[in-house]
Amino acid sequence: MSCKNTEDCQESCFQWDVLAEMKSIAKRCLAAVRRNKKLQYTLLLLPSMIYLTVFFMAPFFLTTLYSFDMVTRLKQIVFTPSLEYYLKAFGMKGLFPIFLRSIGYGLATTLLCVVLGYPVAYYIALKCKYKDGVLLLFMIPLWISFLLRTYALKALLAENGLLNGILLGLGILAEPLEIIRTPTAVLIGMAYNYLLFMVLPLYANLEKLDVSLLEAAATLGAGKVSTFLRVIVPLSLPGIVAGSLLVFIPATGEFIIPDLLGGPESYMIGNLIWDNFLYTRLWGLGSAISLLFIIFILAIILVYLKYAGIKEVVF
Amino acid sequence: MKIFDKALKSYAFIILIVMYLPIIAMIAFSFNSAKSVGRFAGFSLRWYSQLLQNEDVWTAFYNSFTSAAVVTIISVVLALLMANALVRYKYRGGSLIDTFIYIPIVIPEITESLALLIMLYFIGMPRGFWSVVLGHATFGATFAAVVLRARIAGFRKSVEEAARTLGADEIQTFFRVTLPILMPGVIAAALLAFTLSFDDFIKTRFTTGPGFQTIPLIVYSSAARGGVSPELNALSTFSFGISILFSAVRLFTLRRGRYE
Amino acid sequence: MMPDAVELINVSKRFGEVIANDDISFTVRKNEFFSLLGPSGCGKTTTLRCIAGLEEPDSGIIKLHGEVVTNVPTHKRNVGLVFQDLALFPNMDVFGNIAFGLKMKKVPEKEIEKRVKTMLELVGLKGLEKRRIHQLSGGQRQRVALCRSLVPEPDVLLLDEPLGALDLKIRRRMTEELRRIQREVKKTFIYVTHDQTEAIVMSDRIAVMQAGKIKQIGESTEIYSHPKDPFIASFIGEAVNIIKGVCEKPGTFVGKKLDKPVKVEAKEGLVNIPAVLSIRPERIRVARKLRNLDNILDAKVSSVLFKGMYHEYEMETGDNLVIKVFVPYVGPGTTFQVDDSVQIGWNRRDAVIISSSE
């Protein structure tokens, strides 16, 4: 460290001291972190927790505030909660029917998926020789996004689509079937998209089934049907519950399927929120509706879980 | 009970065919020479060449790809940190944090998107590339963390301790030992995050700004406006070709990783 | 004076409710093969990890070569550790694994190659540099783990039950190998095990641990013939006879179940307190009639077990007291049968009196 005069020296000495001081502070911090395992992992967890808080918790928190009209137009938070928007929501003609309709579609979809999907899961888990391969075949459609699959279905079922093309071409029908823009189309679309969300958890569950239990039932005199109803079904209940939740929650809040495949009779919560939110700035009302929806869903899930007697759902 | 088993097998395969039918039809008709999805007139690549000449489509593809790439990086980094911390150390509020992390996966996407929109508006963030990316990264990180957790749980801590006794400090240990061993899981998580972001529609629609288009957005607006057409088929086929490609690579990586 | 290789002073460590190390102090001399021996859960692995720096003691001081290292992080301590599960790096080949420590020390490439090759030869794995870890056998992996830890020339090598996963015969062979390697590289080895045969064969000195404390430190022969408490007596060695009683006066032991008092080596301080007489089965003589021994008792053979090198007899004497005796097998016609009446006997110095807590 060469200096030309004393002022230079003092300057660089000062800088040197500050640097050395910072280095030693850093060293001490590092040692402290090294020693304390808990501190290490907390630091490790911090970035993602911060991120999730900012981009997940905060938005929902804000939504709640907006729904209680606690945010002014100037983006200031005021502590004057009001139920104005909730009342407006309740007063909205057709809100409750839309809610019920969404739940209805959700339940119907879940039921359809259980009925249609159970045999598939059963087959792959218990009766299939090439489990991995067949499972893979079933999973590939899942790799395609909802939007594209729904569009493909629409292309198939449309008035000028393939189904009608074949039916008309073969002379089976004189006029094209109008499937699109009906509740039927929506149900078909829901079942089509969500079937695998039911099959996969069910498969996972059935796969772990202890075959010796079935054999034990047989030695105790149970026929095939009895064994199925009394042994297999109860044991696959966790899978059914997991699948139901994986289907019901998103299906109830579905937007794309009723929008692309359905008509005014299948207008659901998803559509309501979409229309009210994207094209208007009615943050307050939209938030209220959104929160009501979440609470509604949570309530139904809790009731369902209690009824099914399961406290934790393990994914 | 052979009849029953046969019936079951047939049923399963019927379902499989039904699953694939719309998709196959869509691919098939993207090569239709006529402008119809109901009547196949002949093989033609006209819709694909039309796509290739469409500047908007190229821009959208570029946007989808770059945003997905950035989302992937953010998601993987966050997920690595998160999964590492969660698996190695038993926090007192352990199960609470677990639930917290799984919520983004379970909540209906539309409510989440709406909340994000409010937040973006509140903090005055301009809507475009970054608003989309940051929104996607939330669930990208969560999904990636789920994938990584399984991988890390089977990871033996003693290998890291061995590196430390051989003179490697924490950073060297991570880059020379931990990361290479976890690499198959990291790649799988990255591909998952990429695919989810690339294909995403609802969140994107809520958080995007004027002028920022992605492929799913174009698909939707075309479908909503004009209904079905072979051009749209072509675009869709192209889009999910990419999804399938990435997912296949992901599968392959995971399979291979198991032998190590 | 040369500083000791390792010194622990009043080291304690607890995990929640469990006290793993309870005020442990000992020293390990340079170039010594030192073993920490004890049953599962006694805290020996924790002690080893504290020396390596992978655990931090709640209290106490750890010194390496005279320097206090309690606050020094692991990667700066220059100790080698061979893990129980070996912990070989699956993403590197044999060469990569062994060279790792040298790479961390920034040793030039050419020298790394030389040293790795020498080490491989030393352990008999010449030519296997390019093999992947999963292609190696158990014994080979063992030796790679050993090489990896030795090549960076640590001051001390720590080994945490490294032979546990091996077959019996290979384990026996590796035990002797390890001893040979230690002598050749002239390094301090600290070996943790629950297998007392291993410890006795390999070590210069053994520290017996139980429930977090060090019970006795000494040379193998010392611990074997003069265990300090009944636990150590039964833990070490294949078998031992423990006879409860009390020393009424120095030199005489009255066993609870013995017919008559026996002569023992006189020791002050062991009189009139609960004690046990500890004698190894191979130190007891058997014959139809015995002469010229300090202690001779009448007994009846209650069980006979042939074990190849010797017969294991169980003799009943006194008040239904069972005594185990080992007699080398020297040929047919020299064995006793069940219900034979015999005499068993030993000299004073063949037995040890240990104070017991019961």
Residue B23 lies in a domain: no
CB C286 within 8 A of CB C313: yes
How far is residue B246 from each of residues B78, B184, B195, B241, measured CA to CA in Å? 21, 14, 7, 9
Name the band, by pLDDT with cuts 50, 70 and 90, for residue A56.
confident
Which residues from B are below 8 Å from C85, CB to CB?
A: 156, 158
Amino acid occupying residue B25:
A
- CA dist A195 and A207 (Å) reads 18
Residues listed for chain C: 358
Is the CB of residue A140 less than 8 Å away from at least one CB of chain B? yes
Cβ pairs bridging B and C (under 8 Å): 70
| Residue scoring higher pLDDT (B92 or A61) | A61
> Within 10 A of A127 (CB to CB), how many other CB atoms are there?
14
Tell me the nearest-neighbour CA distance from A14 into chain B, angstroms: 32
CATH topology assigned to domain C238-355: OB fold (Dihydrolipoamide Acetyltransferase, E2P) (2.40.50)
Q: A61 or A92: whose pLDDT is higher? A: A61
Task: Report how far residue C165's alpha carbon sits from residue C159's, in angstroms, rounded to the nearest whole number.
Answer: 14
List the single range of A39-48, A100-109, C332-341 with lowest mean pLDDT. A39-48
pLDDT tens sequence across B80-96:
888 887 777 766 555 66
Interface with chain C: mutation pick from B151, B165, B182, highest number of C CBs within 10 Å: B165
* pLDDT of A227 strictly over 80: no
Among B176, B167, B174, B173, which residue's Cα sits nearest to residue C107?
B167
pLDDT grade for A114, boundaries at 50, 70 and 90: very high
- Which residues of chain C are within 8 Å of residue B156 when distances are taken between CB atoms? 85, 87
Cβ(C281)–Cβ(C241) under 8 Å? yes
Total CB pairs under 8 A between chain A and C: 5
Residue (of B139, C123, B185, C268) closest to A56 by Cα position: B139
User: CB contact, 8 Å: A104 with chain B?
Assistant: no
Say which of C54, C78, C100 has its CB closest to residue B161.
Answer: C54
Residues of chain B contacting A154 with CB distance shorter than 8 Å: 223, 227-228
Question: pLDDT band at A60, cuts 50/70/90?
Answer: confident
A173-177, A211-215, C228-232, range with greatest mean pLDDT:
C228-232
Of B8, B84, B138, the CB nearest to A122: B8
> Are the beta carbons of C82 and C145 closer than 8 angstroms?
yes
Q: Is B19 helix (H, G, I), strand (E, B) or coil?
A: helix
- Residue A211: Cβ within 10 Å count: 8
Q: Region A239-253: what's the mean pLDDT?
A: 87
pLDDT at A109 > cutoff 90: yes
pLDDT band at B258; cut points 50, 70, 90: low
pLDDT of residue B73: 94
| Least Cα separation, residue B167 to chain C (angstroms) | 4
B174 vs A313, residue with greater confidence: B174
pLDDT at A116: 93
Q: Which residue has the higher pLDDT, A164 or A307?
A: A164
Query: What single DSSP character describes residue A142?
Result: G
**Cβ within 8 Å of residue B188, ≥6 positions away:** B147, B151, B250, B253, B254, B257
Asked, for residue B39, whether it belongs to a domain, the answer is no
Please say whether the dihedral angle defined by the alpha carbons of residues C72, C76, C78 and C80, taken in this order, is positive or negative: positive
Contact present, A48 and B82 (Cβ < 8 Å): yes
Average pLDDT, chain A: 81
pLDDT band at A315 (very low <50, low <70, confident <90, very high): very low
Q: What is the mean pLDDT of residues B180-205?
A: 88
List of chain A residues whose C-beta atoms are within 8 Å of the C-beta of residue C56:
35
Of B86, B111, B118, the CB nearest to A293: B111
Mutate: best of A29, A30, A34, A38, partner C, most C CBs <10 A? A34
Distance CA C116, CA C102 (A): 9
Whether the CB-CB separation of C69 and C63 falls below 8 Å is answered with yes
Q: By the 8 A CB rule, do C231 and C255 touch?
A: no
Q: Which residue stretches of chain C have pLDDT < 70?
A: 1-2, 358
pLDDT at B259: 44
Residue B230 belongs to domain spanning: 55-257
B100 touches chain A (CB under 8 A): yes
- Chain C: closest CA distance from residue B97 (Å): 23
Least confident of A32-36, A183-187, A281-285, B229-233: A32-36
Rounded CA-CA distance A1/A9 in Å is 9
Q: Quick check: C83 and B166 CB within 8 A? A: no
Residue with token string 């034990």: A216
Q: Is B21 part of a structural domain of the chain?
A: no
Give the contacts of C233 (CB within 8 A, at least 6 positions apart): C227, C240, C242, C276, C278, C352, C354
pLDDT of residue B92: 58
A3 pLDDT tier (thresholds 50, 70, 90): low
At residue B130, what are phi and psi to the nearest 5 degrees? -70, -35
CATH number for the domain spanning B197: value is 1.10.3720.10
CA end-to-end span of chain A, whole Å? 63
Of the pLDDT bands very low, low, confident and very high (cuts 50, 70, 90), residue A62 is: confident
SS3 B31: coil
The alpha carbon of residue A15 is apart from the nearest alpha carbon of chain C, in Å, by 29
User: What is the full DSSP assignment across C317-328?
Assistant: ETTTEEEEEEEE
What is the ipTM metric for this complex?
0.83
Identity of the residue in B156, B164, B165 whose CB atom sits nearest the CB atom of C85: B156
Does residue A38 belong to the interface with chain B, where contact is any CB pair within 8 Å? yes
Q: Would you call A299 helix, strand, or coil by DSSP?
A: helix
Which chain C residues are within 8 Å of A34, Cβ to Cβ?
A: 73
Could you give the number of structural domains in chain B? 1
Cβ(B216)–Cβ(A146) below 8 Å: no
In order of B163, C89, C105, the CA distances from C148 in angstroms are 10, 10, 13
Say which CATH architecture domain A91-308 belongs to. Orthogonal Bundle (1.10)
Q: How many CB atoms are closer than 10 A to CB A84?
A: 14
**CB A218, CB A255: distance < 8 Å:** no
Q: How confident is the model at residue A311 (pLDDT cuts 50, 70, 90)?
A: very low
Q: Do A31 and C56 touch (CB under 8 A)?
A: no
Q: Which of C49, C54, C82, C157 to mutate to test the interface with B (most CBs of B within 10 A)?
A: C54
User: Whose structure tokens read 């060297």?
Assistant: B172
**What are the distances in angstroms from CA A233 to CA A196, A201, A226, A239, C312?**
19, 14, 10, 10, 59
Tell me if B224 is assigned to some domain. yes
| A55–B134 C-beta distance less than 8 A | yes
Give the pLDDT confidence score for residue C281 in this predicted structure.
93
Query: Quick one: pLDDT at residue B1?
Result: 62
Cβ atoms of B71 and B143 closer than 8 Å? no
C15 three-class SS: strand
Strand pairing category for C213-219 and C205-210? antiparallel
pLDDT recorded at residue A314: 42
More confident residue, A6 or A121: A121
Closest CA to C353 of C293, C272, C264: C264
* A78 or A150, which is more confident: A150
Which pLDDT score is estimated for C158?
93
B38 → closest Cβ in A42, A147, A161: A161
Parse chain A into domains and list their residue ranges.
1-35, 91-308
Neighbours of C319 (CB within 10 A): 10
> Minimal Cα–Cα distance from A41 to chain C, Å?
16
Give A 286-315 residues with CB within 8 A of chain B: 286-287, 290, 293-294, 297, 315
Q: Would you say C209 and C38 are in contact if contact means Cβ atoms under 8 Å apart? A: yes
- Note whether C273 and C327 are within 8 A (CB): no
pLDDT of residue C217: 93
pLDDT of residue A201: 87
Q: Indicate whether B46 pLDDT > 60.
A: yes
**Residue closest to B151 by CA, chosen among B259, B77, B75, B258:** B258
Do C50 and C10 meet the contact criterion of CB atoms below 8 Å apart? no
Higher pLDDT, C91 or A113: A113
Min CA distance, B141 vs chain C (Å)?
26
> What is the mean pLDDT of the segment spanning A91-113?
87
DSSP A55-110: IIIHHHHHHHHHHTT-B-TTS-B-S----HHHHHHHHSTTHHHHHHHHHHHHHHHH
Identity of residue B10 = S
Residue B94's pLDDT is what?
59
Q: What is the pLDDT of residue A18?
A: 80
What pLDDT digit, counting tens, does each position of B245-256 carry?
888 888 887 776
Instruction: Specify whether the CB–CB gap between B206 and A278 falls below 8 A.
Output: yes
**Which secondary-structure segment (H or E) carries C210?**
strand C205-210
Domain ranges of chain C: 6-229, 238-355
- Secondary-structure class of domain C6-229 per CATH: alpha beta
Residue B99 lies in a domain: yes
Chain B contact present for A120, CB below 8 A: yes
Mean pLDDT (chain C) is 88
